[in-house]
Amino acid sequence: MWKTQWRPLAWLTGAFLICFYLPVGTARFNNAVLESLELVKWYAREHVLLCLIPAFFIAGAIGVFVSQGAVMRYLGPKAKKWLAYLVASVSGSILAVCSCTILPLFAGIYKMGAGLGPASAFLYSGPAINIMAIVLTARVLGIELGIARAAGAIGLSVVIGLCMHLIFRKEEAEKARLAANEPEVEAVRPLWQNIVFLGSMVAILVFANFGKSEDSGALWTSIWNVKWYLTSISALVLGFMLTRYYGLKLWKLLIISIPVVALAILFPANPLLAFTAGFLGIGLFSSTEKNEELKSWFETSWDFAKKIMPLLLFGVLIAGLLLGRVGAEGLIPSEYVSKAVGGNSLVANFFASFAGAFMYFATLTEVPILEGLIGAGMGKGPALALLLAGPALSLPNMLVINGVMGFKKTAVFVLLVIFFSTLCGIVYGNI
């Protein structure tokens, strides 16, 4: 009996001891709980509607409208390596999203048959090769660190992808063998239609989440000032593609448009209302549509949402409990982090990359965090290590990756990011 029951007993005992010794009532614990709830609230308000909902629809569209043959041709295990990694890194970097928003898109291309190496490069490149964040890094933290971040992130996306491919090459070879035996399905529609359709949703995602900082240049500020106009134009293109080429009835599009336009006029200071109404309308009509493609689009998007969202919110909750928010305290005192990343030693670089990998960074927030840490004595090597590991990973991100490709591959991916970020930090710190 004990041979089969010792593991549940150990888990139950551990859970009991945690509950028994919970430091409820202490100032740090109470504040950490409050910070975790504040972070989840902020995440739900700022990221779920603007970032994740469009990302789920894009992932669903990849699964339904993009042929498996196209994914296999450019990102599959038998694709030309230089082409696969170029497509993965470029397409990931165009999105300029955080480590959580990239997850539905990664899950979409991976389940469609993309090779592990290119899929991993895509997973890393989306949050890490963020053009706006790199420009902001150069402006705030110095041109030298900005260039180092850009070069390091681009290089690591390819290196990490190649390492994942080599470490799991037997599985990749079997995957390629099975793919070779499958007949190639002819595309239902021309490639350009899918490109414009997906591109319009990507544009909505990018422009709706276009960030502004006090240190942004004139060009970025100008784009930020008209971001909702650009989002609206992208939405018009999406509506045209849906009715002209993807089977949505024009009268349904008009019904979707009425509340969107009305909310935009009545509440111009709160464009999130119109934005949400648009995606709710698309979800409602695609889910009840007789057109099988549109119905499958919603069902696939919903499948990604129900699998990913609970893990993300739980991960954000735990990250907030341990580390708090920007400028606030969690269970782990921020002064410990500041002391551990001083200088350019191996330990400092490793700790910076390790801590960054588990922290949650919203897009662009890593720059002011680093500005404060550098002011507290952080070395330039650990600063780069955190910039390379932090935006690309987070605890919520790891939980979802584990659900997509399993614990073993997730652990290897995380270790590779931490290892190469540490290595880049050591090299940069000693230049």
pLDDT computed for residue 217 by the predictor: 65
CA distances 34 to 31, 42, 331, Å, are: 5, 12, 11
- Kindly state whether residue 325 falls inside one of the protein's structural domains: yes
CA–CA distance, 1 with 5 (Å, rounded to integer): 6
Cβ atoms of 47 and 98 within 8 Å: the answer is: yes
The pTM score is: 0.77
Nearest to 231 by CA among 274, 283, 269: 274
pLDDT at 254 over 60: yes
Nearest to 331 by CA among 29, 41, 24, 5: 29
pLDDT computed for residue 20 by the predictor: 85
pLDDT at 413 over 90: yes
Cβ atoms of 359 and 318 within 8 Å: the answer is: no
Local confidence band at 235 (pLDDT 50, 70, 90 cut-offs): very high
Nearest to 322 by CA among 333, 331, 334: 331
- Kindly state whether residue 21 falls inside one of the protein's structural domains: no
pLDDT at 110 over 70: yes
CA–CA distance, 401 with 420 (Å, rounded to integer): 19
- Kindly state whether residue 257 falls inside one of the protein's structural domains: no
- Kindly state whether residue 264 falls inside one of the protein's structural domains: no
Instruction: Give first-to-last CA distance, the chain, whole Å.
Output: 60
DSSP state for residue 135 in the 8-state scheme = H
pLDDT computed for residue 185 by the predictor: 55
- Kindly state whether residue 423 falls inside one of the protein's structural domains: yes
Strand partners, 343: 378
pLDDT at 358 over 80: yes
Region of poorest pLDDT, from 24-33, 79-88, 235-244, 285-294: 79-88
Local confidence band at 104 (pLDDT 50, 70, 90 cut-offs): confident
- Kindly state whether residue 255 falls inside one of the protein's structural domains: no
Q: What is the pLDDT of residues 274-318, one digit of tens each?
A: 999 999 999 988 888 788 889 999 998 898 888 888 877 887 888
Tokens found for residue 142 = 């110095």
Cβ atoms of 239 and 279 within 8 Å: the answer is: no
Q: What is the pLDDT of residues 204-222, one digit of tens each?
A: 988 887 776 666 667 777 8
Tell me what percent of the residues of the chain surpass a pLDDT of 90: 22
| Average predicted confidence (pLDDT) for the chain | 82
DSSP state for residue 44 in the 8-state scheme = I
- Kindly state whether residue 23 falls inside one of the protein's structural domains: no
Report helix, strand or coil for 343: strand
| Residue corresponding to tokens 């260039």 | 147
Tokens found for residue 405 = 């490709």
CA–CA distance, 215 with 224 (Å, rounded to integer): 13
pLDDT at 184 over 70: no
The range of the structural domain enclosing residue 151 comes to 30-175+183-248+289-429
Q: What is the pLDDT of residues 139-174, one digit of tens each?
A: 777 888 888 888 888 889 999 999 999 999 888 777
pLDDT computed for residue 92 by the predictor: 64
Report helix, strand or coil for 268: coil
pLDDT computed for residue 281 by the predictor: 92
- Kindly state whether residue 301 falls inside one of the protein's structural domains: yes
Tell me what percent of the residues of the chain surpass a pLDDT of 70: 87
DSSP state for residue 342 in the 8-state scheme = B
DSSP string covering 48-108: IIIIIHHHHHHHHHHHHHS-HHHHHHHHSTTS-HHHHHHHHHHHHHHH---TTTHHHHHHH
Q: What is the pLDDT of residues 196-206, one digit of tens each?
A: 998 899 889 88
Task: List, in order, residues 6 or more apart from 234 with CB less than 8 Å away.
Answer: 200, 201, 203, 204, 207
Work out the number of other CB atoms within 10 angstroms of the CB of residue 15.
10
Q: Specify the higher pLDDT residue, 375 or 383.
A: 383
pLDDT computed for residue 261 by the predictor: 93
Tokens found for residue 161 = 């992808």
pLDDT at 35 over 70: yes
CA–CA distance, 421 with 57 (Å, rounded to integer): 32
Phi, psi of 119 (to 5 degrees): -65, -40
Helix (H) or strand (E) holding 306: helix 292-323
Number of domains in the chain: 1
Report helix, strand or coil for 199: helix
Cβ atoms of 96 and 131 within 8 Å: the answer is: yes
Tokens found for residue 186 = 């002819």
CA–CA distance, 405 with 397 (Å, rounded to integer): 12
CA–CA distance, 35 with 321 (Å, rounded to integer): 6
